Structure 1
């Protein structure tokens, strides 16, 4: 199973998961036109779309994807916040199948109506991928995971030096996004014996440092895990 980042930032998020038989789009926070350009194929090239929450950088072209006839999965809270008819409603730990990929949504913690992360298990190769972005923490463990794609939004030390940042923005960051040390502490609790890749998502423009984040994560995971930060793209 492969994970490909098309865009990963507060300006737009979109990722593709493909197991050779089923191709899923995770997040659609770009214009429909730009999404098709970056993906290299149109809506017919995807089997379904999973949307974590309603914020525009994750859901921008959800309505167009629904109109194009794609199954677009999201929580009821997300659909209501988007005022979107025609979405496929899913729930925390409500398992469902898309082609050869088994999907288990799970609760995340963000300033959104009903945000979700996703565990994906391929029936083709048996690999397990977990994606969670825009969350201050994670409540679940994922045994046997092959690929992790997790938020690493900011560094508290860098944030503390942003003296011109309004207090309201500072509070929102710390109350709704994952700090790099929080991610590292979480990774220490996981069984990563089968994990081959860790992707860092949604790095902040102002309060992150890509190489610093990669090195921090490399120090707490097994040496065979590839660690990379998703390019902003988009």
Structure 2
């Protein structure tokens, strides 16, 4: 299995994961041109994607979806609620609706040689999910876990045993509270339907780390309320101080950039 981030942040999200046989795109929240350039970094093209997994309908996850659907005719997998929200909004333009494939949380489905499990997340969207992607040949699993305001035993149990993960570390609580955002927006971000803070991200990571974890990307960082070094230090401190056998620096943990393609992690 391999995994890399083309963009991750409040301004746009697009991740690629796959194996020698099958690759999928997770979200298309940047322009088609940037998606293609990101794929080309690792000798892939958008046309090589076997499908697009959409987490939810917010614009930073679907702004390039319409272009990609029209240009390449790629199938799109997401929940029924997300499909309805995307089409109702109309911001992706006219698309061939037959390209949409309805998936159900907790129901594993197959794309090529990949097995995909969507899991429910707590976010202020129609029917949002995160994704666990497993290589059907060797069982290695990677996860894209962003846009959740909280985690619980259900989340933890579903994302144990991963070899790599892109995990949300959206904001520093202090930066958010004293920052320029309107009060209502601050309340939304801090709510159970908002985004994971650096501290909560580190606490969740401490619960899912395992000896086979080869890489952790911290993703979906806020441009206004976070910065890479702070997110990394806070998450590592939470792991080190938590009730687990690991230290924060025991693992390869990096920050997925808002504008630059990440390293390609192969597990």
TM bucket (normalised to shorter chain) is: over 0.9
Q: Which residue of 1 aligns with 2:73?
A: 69
Q: Give the paired residue count.
A: 233
Spell out, residue by residue over 1:88-112, the C-alpha distance to the aligned partner (whole angstroms, 9 max, x if none). 1111111101111110000011111
Structure 2 unaligned runs (5+)? Answer: 88-94, 240-245, 261-267
Is 1:129 matched with 2:112?
Answer: no
Q: Which residue of 2 aligns with 1:29?
A: 29
Is 1:187 matched with 2:205?
Answer: yes
Return the offset for 1:42.
Answer: 4.1
Spell out, residue by residue over 1:136-159, the C-alpha distance to the aligned partner (whole angstroms, 9 max, x if none). 123322232101111110011211
**Greater CA deviation, 98-107 or 184-193?**
184-193
SS in 2 for 1:184: helix
Question: For residues 165 and 30 of structure 1, what CA distance do their matches in structure 2 show?
Answer: 23
1:148-227 paired onto structure 2 within 5 Å:
148-162=165-179, 164-175=180-191, 176-219=194-237, 220=239, 221-222=246-247, 223-227=249-253
TM-score when normalising by structure 1: 0.93
**Greater CA deviation, 152-161 or 57-66?**
57-66
Return the offset for 1:30.
Answer: 1.3
SS in 2 for 1:212: helix
Spell out, residue by residue over 1:119-171, the C-alpha distance to the aligned partner (whole angstroms, 9 max, x if none). 11112342111111111123322232101111110011211221x32102211
Moved over 6 A (4+): none
Q: Which residue of 2 aligns with 1:144?
A: 161
Return the offset for 1:191.
Answer: 4.5
Spell out, residue by residue over 1:48-81, the C-alpha distance to the aligned partner (whole angstroms, 9 max, x if none). 1101000111011223333322111111111000
Question: For residues 192 and 136 of structure 1, what CA distance do their matches in structure 2 show?
Answer: 23
SS in 2 for 1:9: coil
Question: For residues 213 and 11 of structure 1, what CA distance do their matches in structure 2 show?
Answer: 17
Question: For residues 18 and 227 of structure 1, what CA distance do their matches in structure 2 show?
Answer: 20
Q: Which residue of 1 aligns with 2:264?
A: none
Question: For residues 210 and 19 of structure 1, what CA distance do their matches in structure 2 show?
Answer: 29
Q: Which residue of 1 aligns with 2:263?
A: none
**Greater CA deviation, 95-104 or 60-69?**
60-69
Q: Name the Cα RMSD after superposition.
A: 1.7
TM-score when normalising by structure 2: 0.82
Q: Which residue of 2 aligns with 1:18?
A: 18
Return the offset for 1:215.
Answer: 2.1
